[in-house]
Each structure stands twice: as C-alpha cells, then as structure tokens.
Amino acid sequence: MILMQWLILLVLILQPLGQVGAPADALQEASAPSFIVRSEPSPYLAVGDIASFEVTAPPGLDLSEHSVTLSVIHPFIQELGRADFFPGGDRPFRARFPFVWDTGAAGAGTIMLQFSVTPAGWSWTEVIRLHSPPPQETDQQWAVVQLDCCTVHYVTGTRAERELDLLISVSEEQVLKASERMQTVLPEPVNIIFLPRVIGHGGFAGQELFISYPDVNYTNLNLEVVLHHEIVHRLDRELGGPYRPSIFVEGLAVYLSEGHYQEEDLVARSAALLDLGLYLPLQDLANNFYPSQHESGYMLAGALVHYLVEMHGYEAFDRFYRSIQPPQDGRDATAIDLALQQNFAITFAALEEQFIAWLEEQPFDADEQTNVRLTIELYDTLREYQQRLDPSAYFRNVWLFPDPANRERGIVTNWTRWPRYPQNQVIERLLEAAGQDLVAGRYISAEVRLDFIRAMLPGIPTLIELPYQPQFVPLFIE
Ligand SMILES: [Zn+2]
C-alpha cells in the first residue's frame, strides 16, 4: 500500500495538477470520457467541511444503469461512497454525493480522489487542496422562527438575522396573498430558507423555498415578488396535476405575482418584446423552457396565462392546466396541444396565432421597451458573470441540498462561503447598481454600467484559474 502511495505521489509530481471544477483530463485514462467534478462548499474545501461532490457526464452520454464510486486515495485510502447516475432532462447525466466526506479528521494539504464508473469500467483521479479553515467563518449557525404560515430559517450573523422582522412580516403577508389567489392552503407550515449568498436568480421552490437575501443583492429582486412567486410554486405543487409543463408552472407564478423580478405589466412588456423582434415561438419555448432566453420566456409564459385567463376565466384555465397529461413523445408542446383541443377546442398553433394578434394590439411605450431590452441584457450578463466567476450560483448548476438533515447537522458553509475575490465584489456592485438604475428608469446609467461589465468580463480569469484566497478583504465599506 505504501509503495502504491509513493507511485501516486510520483505521478502527482510529474503531472500538472488537476483541480476540482475543471474538466478531469490531466490524469484521466485515455478511454474515459471527460467528466466534470464540482465540490461544495465552493469555491474551495477547508478542514472541517462536510464535503459534497457532483459528477457531470459529457453531453449526450447515456449513463442509465451506471454508478460511480468515490474514494480518497492519498494521503490515506478511504472509500467515500457510490452514487447512481440520473438523467438531467435537457442536461447531461449526473451523479451526486451529498455530505459524503467529513474532512474534520484530515489535515490541510493535497488530496487525491478517485472516481470509478461501473459497469463502463472508466476511472480517473482528481487532485484537490484541502485548506486551513478560514478565520472569518466561525460561530455561524442555523436559526429558526416558527410562524403559523411558515417556518423561517436563516443563518446567524447575516442580513436575514438583522432584518428578520421584515422577512417575517413579508413571508406571512405573501403566504396569505398567494393562498387567497389560488383558493388553497398548505397542509402544514412551509419551510422558507433565507440564504446569505446569491443562488440562480434569487429564488427556488421545491418542498421548501430557498430565497437569497445577501448583503449585495445583485439580482435586484423585489422581496415581495420573489416570495410570492415561490409560494405560488409550492401551492401549485400541492394542487398538482398529471403533468405540469414548465411554461405554465412558471407562467402561472409570474402571472399571479404580477411580474417576474418586479411587479410589472407583463402584457405591455411582451408586446414590446414582440416589437423588438425577440419573441420566442411558443412551441419551441414549451419544449425547451429553461434553456431558452430566461427573461423573455418567463415574460411570455406569464402573458400567455394572462391571455388564457382573459379569454376563459381563471377556473377554466386551472381546469385545463391540471388536466394536461404526460406527452407520449416527451414534448411539452404535444401535451399542451392535446389539452388545448380537449378544453378549448383549439390547437396550440392556432392559439399562438391569436395570442400574437392580441399582443400586436397591446399598447406599450418607448420606456417600457427600453426597460425590456435592458432587462434581458442585464440578466444575460449576470448569468455570464456567474458562469465565469461563481459557477455554483449559476441557476443550472445550483445544488440546493433540500434535505432538512443538513440544517439539523449544523452545516452552513455551503451557503456562507462563496467567491469574494476583488473582481467578484466589483462586478456584483456594478450589477446591483445597474439593476437599481433599471428599476428607477435611469436607462443611460444602466447601459453605461452594463457596457462596463461586459467589457471587463472576458478579460478576467475564470474562477478555476484564480489563486486560493480564503481571507475576505472587503473593497467597499457600508
Ligand atoms: Zn419559478
């Protein structure tokens, strides 16, 4: 065994070091495809972390009935676990190892991990650094407030704790408002988890609701709107249906929240979008909802629900939506087409013709159109920033760890640690300021800031190329 470890060390010395987060190519066997391994918390692991790993297969590779085993092979040998690959819908197959390794007993230094895929027989190694615990990450823990409507969770020492009274009153108000609009109540208080870091666009809903409430809120979401949106998702899930296509899941949440990131006139904005030539054909949008241009998709989905409710009433829309059956060909547009014919005697294509003709008649002003264009540009830039400099925050990468067990174990670093290099701080402040400009109608200022970010981004090394810097050095003083 000792000889084996020396051999591994020799390989380490002779080869350039791979790093978790980068494609595993440095030490990979020639026959294995390129898997991507990400670790959480990010952007680095430190002694004391309960580490999680995610393995993503190359696009198009079918790994049904395959699993992957994860082991530490240096400086000690320990099998950490085995995970099955699962299909990712419009994304590649992935396998996840949540909270698989308690690093408390390991020392800081170089760690070598081995991944073995069976039955394919591929295996490769990844080299990571386990760092000393960062001094600023001490004493933070989960705290909870039990309300009638909901159970509010937050991390001590964060903005959520400082503004807890506000979060409590807005949560109570929005649960009530969404329940009244949807004529239903939750069987038990919903868990609302306020996170100190940005994830995605700031809100996610499953069985529990995750809302970003960071000090620098560069997604610029309106708190009432995002809470309402996520609560609608939770109630919608409760009401159920045999098959709920994403275009209507999101369309309903945006429609009932009267806006996407802010309260806004979805119909006027969709008319402005159409006039800009940025309209997305509905059948393609339904079949590829999440990969489509995000803001346009949500806006059109909300306007489409508005249109159907205006034509047929909310109850008839709700009956239609909850009657949609799983499509035989796996395409959402097929499922919607069938249900439209059964409920409203119209095909999806004919409905879209009417919808476009209706949009063409809707008034909008030049300011609204500028706002729509800049909203799309701002959030496209925000996502580019996340992909380059905080990939764990990019909405398609976010790993929520929905199991309440992580809170019971006291794990906070998945949410209290994130990249805070000077370049992250500068760009996040610029995104925040550009978003505030947009809300206030200062379009020239928003555009100047946006141009500045877009000019800077390509010149900044991506996160995986940056040196380790655990100590947070604030560039801005409140
Ligand atoms: Zn949503």
Handedness of CA 235, 141, 136, 40 (dihedral sign): negative
Q: Confidence band (pLDDT; 50, 70, 90) for 10?
A: very low
133 pLDDT tier (thresholds 50, 70, 90): confident
Task: Decide if pLDDT at 478 tops 70.
Answer: no
What spacing in Å lies between the alpha carbon of 105 and ligand 1's midpoint?
40
What span, in angstroms and rounded, lies between the C-alpha atoms of 127 and 122? Answer: 17
Q: Choose among 120, 113, 38, 116: nearest CA to 83.
A: 116
Q: What does the pLDDT look like over 38-63, one tens digit per residue?
A: 999 988 899 999 999 999 999 999 99
| Tokens representing residue 279 in the block | 């309209």
Q: Ligand 1 centroid to 204 CA: how many Å?
A: 7
Query: What residues have a C-beta under 5 A from ligand 1, the ion?
Result: 250, 253
Q: How far is the CA of 67 from the centre of ligand 1 (A)?
A: 31
- Confidence grade of residue 272 (pLDDT, cut at 50, 70, 90): very high
Please say if the pLDDT value at position 156 is more than 50. yes
Q: State yes or no: cis peptide before 75, omega within 30 of 0.
A: yes
d(CA 42, CA 35): 18
Residue 470: predicted pLDDT: 63
- Res. 32 pLDDT band, cuts 50 70 90: confident
What is the rounded average pLDDT of the residues 436-446? 97
Residue 410 pLDDT: 87
pLDDT digits (tens, 9 = 90+) for 234-265: 999 999 999 999 999 999 999 999 999 999 99
pLDDT tens, position by position, 324-362:
999 999 999 999 999 999 999 999 999 999 999 999 999
Find the 310 Cα to ligand 1 centroid distance in Å. Answer: 22
What's the gap in Å between 230 CA and the centre of ligand 1? 6
Q: For residue 135, name the pLDDT band (cuts at 50, 70, 90).
A: confident
What spacing in Å lies between the alpha carbon of 253 and ligand 1's midpoint?
Answer: 6
State how far the Cα of 190 lies from the Cα of 212, in Å rounded to an integer: 16
Q: Cα 54 to the chain's mean position, in Å?
A: 15
Question: In angstroms, what is the span from residue 192 Cα to ligand 1's centroid?
Answer: 15
Number of H helices and E strands in the chain, helices first, is: 16, 14
Whether cis (ω within 30° of 0) applies to the bond prior to 92 is no
Residue 296 C-alpha to ligand 1 middle, in angstroms?
14
Q: What is the mean pLDDT of the chain?
A: 90
Q: At what angle do helices 366-389 and 266-275 cross, to 10 degrees?
A: 90
In this predicted model, which residue has the larger pLDDT, 365 or 403?
365
Q: Residue 26: which pLDDT band, with cuts at 50, 70 and 90?
A: very low
Res. 2 pLDDT band, cuts 50 70 90:
very low
454 CA to centre of ligand 1 in angstroms = 27
Sign of CA dihedral 427, 388, 156, 234: positive
Q: What is the CB-side half-sphere exposure of residue 338 using CA atoms within 13 A?
A: 14
Q: State the distance from the centre of ligand 1 to the C-alpha of 55, rounded, in angstroms.
A: 26
Q: What is the DSSP string of 369-432?
A: HHHHHHHHHHHHHHHHHHHHH-GGGSTTT------THHHHTT--HHHH-----HHHHHHHHHHH
**Residues facing 18 on adjacent strands:** none
d(CA 26, CA 469) in angstroms, rounded, equals: 24
Q: Under DSSP, is residue 91 helix (H, G, I), strand (E, B) or coil?
A: strand
β-sheet bridge partners, residue 74 = 112
pLDDT band at 33 (very low <50, low <70, confident <90, very high): confident
Greater model confidence, 441 or 1 = 441
Percent of the chain with pLDDT over 70: 90
- With a pLDDT cut of 90, the percent of the chain lying above it is 81
Q: How far apart are CA 234 and CA 249, in angstroms?
A: 10
Residue 402 tokens, joined: 């929905």
Q: What is the pLDDT of residues 192-244, one digit of tens each?
A: 999 999 999 999 998 899 999 999 999 999 999 999 999 999 999 999 999 99
**What's the DSSP call for residue 224?**
H
pLDDT band, very low/low/confident/very high, at 461 (cuts 50, 70, 90): confident
E strand or H helix at 116, and its extent?
Answer: strand 109-118
Distance 446 CA to ligand 1 centre (A): 25
| Distance (Å) from CA 247 to ligand 1 centroid | 10
What is the per-residue pLDDT across 70-105, written as a single tens digit (0 to 9) for each? 999 999 999 999 999 999 888 899 999 999 999 999
> Which tokens in the block code for residue 457?
């981004």
Distance CA(102)–CA(119), nearest Å, equals: 28
Nearest to 385 by CA among 437, 443, 445, 429: 429
The pLDDT assigned to 472 comes to: 64
Q: Would the pTM of this model clear 0.85, i.e. be above it? A: yes
Distance of CA 213 from the midpoint of ligand 1 (Å): 17
Q: pLDDT band at 15, cuts 50/70/90? A: very low
The CA-based dihedral angle spanning residues 299, 305, 307, 308, taken in that order and rounded to the nearest 10 degrees:
160
Of 123-127, 132-136, 165-169, 385-389, the one with minimum mean pLDDT is 132-136
Alpha helices in 241-365 (DSSP H): 246-256, 266-275, 282-287, 294-312, 314-321, 332-344, 348-360
Assess whether pLDDT exceeds 80 at residue 136: no
Q: Stretch 145-171: mean pLDDT, rounded? A: 97
Rounded to a whole number of angstroms, the distance between the first and last alpha carbons of the chain is: 55
How far, in Å, is the centroid of ligand 1 from the Cα of 324? Answer: 19
DSSP H or E run through 238: helix 223-239
Residue 7's pLDDT band, with cuts at 50, 70 and 90, is: very low
Apex CA 20: angle with CA 19 and CA 21, to 5°?
Answer: 105
Residue 445, C-beta contacts closer than 8 angstroms, at least 6 positions apart: 434, 437
CA of 221 to the centre of ligand 1 (A): 13
Asked whether 68 and 83 are in contact (CB, 8 A), the reply is yes
